[in-house]
Structures are given as C-alpha cells and as structure tokens.
Amino acid sequence: MPLRILHIVCLAAAAVAAPGLSFAPAAAQAQSQGRPARIVSLDLCTDQLLVALVGRERIAAVTHLAADPAVSADPGKAKGIPITHGAAEDVLRYDPDLVLAGPFGVTATVGLLRRLQRNVVTVPLPSDLDGVRAAMRAVAAAVGEHAKGEAMVAAFDRRLARLAPPAAGMRPSAIIYQVGGSVSGPGSLAEATLAAAGFRNKAADYRLTRGEQVPLELLVATPPDLLVLSSAVDEYRTALADNLRHPVLRRLRQRHASLELPWQLWLCGTLHTAEAIERLAEARVKIEARRP
C-alpha cells in the first residue's frame, strides 16, 4: 500500500477509534505555544521521562510496558494512559505531533513514521551518568519543557552530591548478578552506577562466558565485597533464574554483604538512577565500617 494511502487510512481510523484526538484545554494551550500536544512514546525509558516531564493531557500513548511494575520504575504515573504496542498504524491512530523512541526495538515503525514526515525524536540509551543527563535534556527539549528538564538534572546532581565519599584508599568491589548468571560489564549504565557509588566492578576480574555470564563456581571462589542481585530470588519462577535460588548462593549471601537492587532502577537514565546509586552507596558505607 502506498505510504500516502496508508497515512489517510490510519487517520480515518483515528477519527472513530481514538478519543484522545479531542484536545483538553492544557493540550490546546501547549499546541498554541508551539509545544507538542499529542505525544506518543515507543520506548520504556522515554515513557518514564515523558510522564515525569509532561501532564498526561498531552500524552497520547505510552508503551504497554509503562504501567507494568515488573519492568517500569514509574508504573503508577503511567497507569490509565492509552498504550501502544509499537506498530505504525497503532501510532498513527493518535495523529501524534511528537513520537519519542529509543535506539532499539521498533526501528521499522520509526523508519515508516519518518518517511511520513512525522516528528520523531530518538533518545540514546545512556551508558554513563552524562548520558543520563543528556537523555533528560533530550526529552525535555523535544516536549518543550526545558526548565523542567534542567530542574530534573539539577535534582539528579544534588542527590549525587549528598553521597558520602569513599574512604581514603578504599574502593570495594561489587558485581551486579542477574538471572542466568549474567553480569553488567564495562560500558554499561550499571557499571557507571557502581562507580558513582564508590565501587569497582568486579566483572572485569572474571573470565566471562560468551553470554557475559559468571559461572557460579567462580563467583563463590572469589566473591566481591558486595553481591548485588538485580531482582528478588523468587521474582522469576523459571529454570533460568534458578541460579538466584541456588543453595551455594544463599550461603554466600549469608557470609558476605549483598543487596537486592531492582534492575528497574538502573535500566533507564532517569532520577531512579540516583536512587540506585544512593542505595549502593549506603551499602558501601556499611562495608567500610566493618573493615579494620
């Protein structure tokens, strides 16, 4: 089907299927000020920044994951907002004046929307704290909320500035251990989170498998000063997550410091990254207090 015809068909469907096309006063005011008033998010990370920066009257749709507490750090803020599963016709029914996307997942939809000359902004996935700040500013700029974006960055930096600094000459090791034995290695936001909390990522000390996993035997033989689990041991009742319930790991946690730090907090570059760093820093202070 030619793109122009597809566009017309989708907009016609929107007229009868998408009540969100009628403007609330705040959305109409935003449009009159040249700010987007019908925003669709196609990425879990942009979902969370969007709901933090914009009132829901300007949000046409977020992803189906946005209100899911199993994956989102902000499920309550997204509850009740219409959802999209990422198909182009699913997005076009809302006739958006801004589409926020991540670098992965719905590239075919993003490509089609751009060929239809829709306003699409792709927000990179952060790999460090500067990337977190850049993501906040990118979404804020796209939605026309520069001041709110700068306030968010300032709040992020204030929380980091309040952290207790590492003890002189001490930088304990830590590792983020996940389902299936996967760990977070160099160049990841998770490693940057560890570093900001005053830890050294012990993943570099292990000989990882091709799937970036640490065999349980190696973890037990040379454990980190802090073992960080990215989920509760009973959160995933699958065979792949049996490593988190292994008796050997349970005994290791009894003898060494450990922390359950939900991966939702550090998956995306949001203010929740600061919360993850704060919780890690608190664990570091306790480790330092126990050392002679």
Q: Are 180 and 240 a contacting pair, CB within 8 Å?
A: yes
145-189 confidence digits (pLDDT tens): 999 999 999 999 999 999 988 877 779 999 999 888 889 888 899
The answer, yes or no, to whether residue 279 has pLDDT greater than 80, is yes
Both 14 and 139 in one domain: the answer is: yes
206-239 confidence digits (pLDDT tens): 877 777 888 888 999 999 999 999 888 888 778 8
pTM across the whole model: 0.85
Nearest-angstrom CA–CA distance, 232 and 196: 23
Both 189 and 97 in one domain: the answer is: no
27-84 confidence digits (pLDDT tens): 655 655 679 999 999 999 999 999 999 999 999 999 999 999 999 999 999 999 999 9
Range with the lowest mean pLDDT among 151-165, 239-253, 268-282? 239-253
Q: Last residue of some domain: 159, 191, 206?
A: 159
SS3 99: strand
Residue span of the structural domain in which 265 resides: 173-290
The answer, yes or no, to whether residue 12 has pLDDT greater than 70, is no
Both 275 and 182 in one domain: the answer is: yes
Dihedral (Cα; 134, 139, 145, 148), 10-degree rounding = -50
SS3 170: coil
Both 153 and 178 in one domain: the answer is: no
Q: Which helix (H) or strand (E) holds 274?
A: helix 271-290
Both 122 and 190 in one domain: the answer is: no
What pLDDT does 29 receive? Answer: 58
The CATH number linked to 14 is 3.40.50.1980
What pLDDT does 1 receive? Answer: 44
CA atoms within 13 A on the CB side of 257: 20
In a domain, 166, yes or no: no
Dihedral (Cα; 165, 171, 172, 174), 10-degree rounding = 90
* pLDDT band at residue 17 using 50, 70 and 90 as cut-offs: very low
Give how many domains the chain has, as a whole number: 2
In a domain, 52, yes or no: yes
Both 7 and 107 in one domain: the answer is: yes
Q: What is the mean pLDDT of residues 17-34?
A: 54
In a domain, 49, yes or no: yes
Q: What is the mean pLDDT of residues 125-139?
A: 97
What pLDDT does 31 receive? Answer: 58
In a domain, 210, yes or no: yes
85-123 confidence digits (pLDDT tens): 999 999 999 999 999 999 988 999 999 999 999 999 999
